[in-house]
Chains A and B, each alone.
Chain A
Amino acid sequence: MSFMDILALIIPAAIVSAAPLIFTALGGVFSERSGVVNIGLEGLMLFGAFTGAVTIYYGEQFGLDGAAPWVSFVVAMIVGALFASIHAVASISLKADQVVSGVAINFLAAGLAIFLTKKIFNAGQTPVISERISKSDIPFLSDIPIIGKLFFSNAYLTSYLAVFVALIVWYVLYKTPFGLRLRSVGEHPMAADTMGINVKKMRYVGVLLSGALAGLGGAVYVASISGNFTHSTITGQGFMALAAMIFGKWHPLGALGAALFFGLAQAISISGAQIPGLQDIPKVFLLIAPYVLTILALAGLVGRADAPKALGTPYEKGKR
């Protein structure tokens, strides 16, 4: 097996498993940059996956065919934002502990999604969908020698969408007045308030966007990877996205890079057995690599990761 074959095996797989992580991690960036911790990404992603699976299933019944997954993405984003609004109300308006509220979101999403699945389908899982996002080559780009084969052929459109969305998020956060405001309420809400920025409103926007993107991440996971929703569809991908966001230092492009890297680790752990030199490495090291690296990054051993300054503290007007 040549080196190129190995790359051709791993890189497309890495990009595929990274896409849901990228969306969800970008959601985390919005929420945490506005100063609200979002441990609930896991739950939001899970509920997005449930919504996606149900919407695609019924979309197929109504004859949406190939459009069903794309409709499901929109629905999952709306439902994700609605679900995140619970976290927003609790942690912004009612000044609840943001971590506790996030934990509750995870519980609620897991319980409600399986409860509804059992109610609607009378079974522990949703039916397997037939309209998945299909693999395709990107015209022209896939003809580029070497790079084209690795990055632009035989991959899901959603993966490129994820990269594109990361660029948009970067532009919004760093090149627009809205982004500056969102970041400012996460760093120093009182200063932002003094400048006439509505702190609570900005934080609501941040949390709702995180819900929408995490929901999208979950739906993309169903449409491209799992094909249906069960209790074990989303087990830790949301937390891995959280890790990617932190490893990427709360920066959209950093999160993108980290998610791709974690996707690579997953891809190697799945197809590593076929690769000479890698089959001797126990799979467990590849499985735990994302988490170990995140801890090392936080400890300052792999570049310092600093959280937004006001992260986790509710804003109270006039409090010193």
Chain B
Amino acid sequence: MQNNTKKIKFIVPLISVFLGLLIGGIIMLISGYKPIEAYVALFQGIFGGSYYIGETIRQMSPLILSGLAVAFAFRTGLFNIGVEGQLLVGWLAAVYVGIFVDAPAIIHIPLAVLAAGVAGALWGSVPGILKARFKVHEVITTIMMNYIALYSTNEIIRNFMLAPGERTENVKESASLASPFLQSITEYSTLHFGIIVAIVAAVIMWFLLWRTTLGYELRAVGFNQHASQYAGINVSKNIVLSMAISGAFAGIAGSMEGLGTYQYMTINAGFTGVGFDGIAVALLGANSAIGVILGAALFGGLKIGALNMQAIAGVPTELVGVVIALIIFFVACSYLVHWLMNRVNRGGKI
């Protein structure tokens, strides 16, 4: 049985990815594109040179962090759809520290990343407190908090940090994660040091969940709130804490954009999408640290490869969004896979 669940854990994501790509191919075929040519172009757009690899890794960093944010909350039985908002708040905090603080890089960068984490944690803890204190479902509050974050950050930029071009100034060199060295070895892609931050965060998440008392309590609350309460675990505290830590990961994901990819923050007309992609990454990665890294690699790769697919095979990049949506569907419907496998195991009797 143990062996069987482990096997399913691997098989469900693999089958889902396969089915997602398959149906994506069928959609292309129906709309008159050439699926094989498109997928080859997509693949080349991910691996066909150090530039593409650099871009994929750059795309992965915020995805890993937003995936970790969703996965961490999931472990405590919470669904954090608010990563998008926490990311924006973190982005703003990182850029603020990056612009207005003077410090040597060794202090400035950690300080800016920390500020992003704290901002995200505060933003994330609001739904946590509402859940713990008033039993308000976190899915709704996090969605509402997303919009509050979007409009508020825009307003703050407009009033206090505006530079020409609907954006803030660039962050100081000492706060920047950009790396001429990484850029030069990847044919001048936009790769930056953020990936190191993301991987460190993944290790921290793993350690926190599996090697500390806190992690044990958080997971216990995720499995069964009532049993945890009975065992003397403070459920309310753990809910708030889980949302805060989740928010911190999301906030740091924002600092990847603010200190790494863009070096500034724009007035956003809509969401970045990174937070919502985090849900997909966490689901595909079965809420584990290593799974999240692999999931981020897949979705990051698909997003970067899509550009080449559009350039060469003429297929709009949105097809990748469709494929990602399909993959989430199939992972969510893993009941189907379980049911099929049980049927096979029972020798096809029932």
- Chain A residues within 8 Å of B, Cβ to Cβ: 37, 39, 86, 90, 94-97, 99-101, 103-108, 110-112, 114-116, 118-119, 232, 235-236, 239-240, 242-243, 246, 282-284, 287-288, 291-292, 294-295, 298-300, 307
- Interface of B, secondary structure class, is helix
Q: For residue A235, which residue of chain B has the nearest CB?
A: B270
With the chains together, A99 CA to B279 CA distance in Å?
Answer: 11
Q: Knowing A107-B276, A295-B144 are in contact, say whether A284-B155 is a contact too (CB < 8 A).
A: yes
26 residue pairs from A and B, CB less than 8 Å apart: A39-B143, A94-B335, A99-B81, A100-B279, A100-B328, A100-B332, A103-B81, A104-B326, A104-B332, A111-B318, A111-B320, A114-B316, A116-B31, A118-B316, A119-B32, A235-B269, A235-B270, A239-B143, A284-B151, A288-B147, A288-B148, A288-B151, A291-B144, A294-B144, A295-B141, A298-B137
With the chains together, A37 CA to B276 CA distance in Å?
Answer: 18
B residues 140-190 near A (Cβ < 8 Å) are 140-141, 143-145, 147-148, 151-152, 154-155
B141 touches A298 (CB 8 A): yes
List residues of chain B with CB within 8 A of the CB of A299.
130, 133-134, 136
Tell me how far the C-beta of A19 lies from the nearest C-beta in chain B, rounded to whole angstroms: 20
Contact residue among B32, B148, B269, B279 (Cβ-Cβ distance under 8 Å from A232)? B269
> Would you call B280 an interface residue if the criterion is a C-beta within 8 Å of the partner chain's C-beta atoms?
yes
How extensive is the interface on chain B, given as a class? Answer: 35 or more
With the chains together, A271 CA to B139 CA distance in Å?
Answer: 32
List residues of chain B with CB within 8 A of the CB of A37.
139
Tell me how far the C-beta of B51 lies from the nearest C-beta in chain A, rounded to whole angstroms: 25
With the chains together, A134 CA to B205 CA distance in Å?
Answer: 56
B148 touches A292 (CB 8 A): yes
Q: Knowing A90-B332, A95-B335 are in contact, say whether A114-B318 is a contact too (CB < 8 A).
A: yes
With the chains together, A287 CA to B148 CA distance in Å?
Answer: 8
Tell me how far the C-beta of B233 lies from the nearest C-beta in chain A, rounded to whole angstroms: 24
A103 touches B130 (CB 8 A): no
A111 touches B270 (CB 8 A): no
List residues of chain A with CB within 8 A of the CB of B141.
295, 298
> Would you call B97 an interface residue if the criterion is a C-beta within 8 Å of the partner chain's C-beta atoms?
no
Tell me how far the C-beta of A314 lies from the nearest C-beta in chain B, rounded to whole angstroms: 9
Identify which of A115, A232, A282 gathers the most chain B CB atoms within 10 Å of its CB: A115
Tell me how far the C-beta of B158 lies from the nearest C-beta in chain A, rounded to whole angstroms: 9
List residues of chain B with CB within 8 A of the CB of A292.
144, 148
List residues of chain A with CB within 8 A of the CB of B134.
298-300
List residues of chain B with CB within 8 A of the CB of A116.
31
With the chains together, A37 CA to B138 CA distance in Å?
Answer: 13
Known: A243-B143, A295-B141. 7 other contacts (CB 8 A): A86-B329, A96-B334, A99-B81, A111-B322, A239-B143, A294-B144, A299-B133
Tell me how far the C-beta of B320 lies from the nearest C-beta in chain A, rounded to whole angstroms: 8
With the chains together, A73 CA to B110 CA distance in Å?
Answer: 54
Contact residue among B81, B324, B335 (Cβ-Cβ distance under 8 Å from A107)? B324
Tell me how far the C-beta of B312 lies from the nearest C-beta in chain A, rounded to whole angstroms: 16
Q: For residue B154, which residue of chain A has the nearest CB?
A: A284
B residues 300-316 near A (Cβ < 8 Å) are 316
B321 touches A90 (CB 8 A): no
List residues of chain A with CB within 8 A of the CB of B319.
111, 115
Contact residue among B136, B283, B321, B332 (Cβ-Cβ distance under 8 Å from A295)? B136
B321 touches A107 (CB 8 A): yes
Q: For residue B320, which residue of chain A has the nearest CB?
A: A111
B residues 5-21 near A (Cβ < 8 Å) are none
List residues of chain A with CB within 8 A of the CB of B328.
100, 103-104, 107
Contact residue among A94, A242, A282, A294 (Cβ-Cβ distance under 8 Å from B333)? A94
With the chains together, A118 CA to B31 CA distance in Å?
Answer: 11
A99 touches B139 (CB 8 A): yes
List residues of chain B with CB within 8 A of the CB of A307.
137
Identify which of B136, B280, B325, B334 gathers the most chain A CB atoms within 10 Å of its CB: B325
With the chains together, A121 CA to B144 CA distance in Å?
Answer: 34
| Chain B window 241-284, contacts with chain A (Cβ cutoff 8 Å), 1 for yes, 0 for no | 00000000000000000000000000001100000100110010
Tell me how far the C-beta of B221 lies from the nearest C-beta in chain A, rounded to whole angstroms: 18
With the chains together, A106 CA to B32 CA distance in Å?
Answer: 25
With the chains together, A100 CA to B333 CA distance in Å?
Answer: 10
List residues of chain B with CB within 8 A of the CB of A235.
269-270
Identify which of A37, A95, A292 gathers the most chain B CB atoms within 10 Å of its CB: A95
B280 touches A107 (CB 8 A): yes
List residues of chain A with CB within 8 A of the CB of B151.
284, 287-288
With the chains together, A209 CA to B229 CA distance in Å?
Answer: 40
Identify which of A101, A111, A239, A240 gathers the most chain B CB atoms within 10 Å of its CB: A111
B318 touches A115 (CB 8 A): yes
With the chains together, A236 CA to B145 CA distance in Å?
Answer: 12
A94 touches B336 (CB 8 A): yes
Identify which of B151, B269, B326 gathers the most chain A CB atoms within 10 Å of its CB: B151
List residues of chain B with CB within 8 A of the CB of A119.
31-32, 316
List residues of chain A with CB within 8 A of the CB of B39.
none
B147 touches A239 (CB 8 A): yes
Q: Knowing A118-B316, A307-B137 are in contact, say whether A104-B325 is a contact too (CB < 8 A).
A: yes
| Chain B window 321-350, contacts with chain A (Cβ cutoff 8 Å), 1 for yes, 0 for no | 110111011011111100000000000000
A97 touches B322 (CB 8 A): no
Tell me how far the C-beta of B86 lies from the nearest C-beta in chain A, rounded to whole angstroms: 15
Q: For residue A294, which residue of chain B has the nearest CB?
A: B144
A115 touches B322 (CB 8 A): yes
List residues of chain B with CB within 8 A of the CB of A39.
81, 139, 143
With the chains together, A283 CA to B154 CA distance in Å?
Answer: 11
> Would you call B79 an interface residue if the criterion is a C-beta within 8 Å of the partner chain's C-beta atoms?
yes
With the chains together, A108 CA to B332 CA distance in Å?
Answer: 14
